[in-house]
């Protein structure tokens, strides 16, 4: 099953959603990013066999996009 991710109203808190059935979701782990999140891309960016998250966020000015990888921490969610 593919992962689903959501942002809160401030676009800084990311959480994964656990698909139950029939498009009903339960809230999973969450973390808050330091800037407005523009995009979240799941993938194994650290080559550990675990799902990491690449978070793209607003840079210091409107013409910049910052990228940060949050690595998977088993049973704890994601961390830097």
Give the pLDDT score at 53.
87
Half-sphere exposure of 71 (CA within 13 A, CB side): 7
77 compared with 55, residue with greater pLDDT: 55
Q: What is the structure's pLDDT at 31?
A: 76
Q: Using 50, 70 and 90 to split pLDDT, how confident is the model at 61?
A: confident
Condensed to tens digits (0 to 9), the pLDDT of residues 27-42 reads: 667 778 888 888 888 8
Integer-rounded Cα radius of gyration of the chain: 13
- What is the rounded distance in angstroms from the CA atom of residue 4 to the CA atom of residue 63? 28
């Amino acid at each position: 099953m593919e992962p689903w991710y959501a942002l809160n109203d401030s676009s800084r808190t990311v959480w994964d959603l656990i698909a139950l059935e029939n498009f009903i979701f339960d809230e999973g782990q969450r973390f808050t990013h330091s800037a407005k999140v523009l995009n979240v891309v799941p993938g194994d960016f650290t080559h550990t066999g675990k799902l990491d998250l690449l978070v793209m966020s607003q840079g210091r000015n409107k013409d910049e996009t910052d990228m940060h990888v949050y690595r998977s921490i088993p049973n704890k969610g994601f961390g830097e």
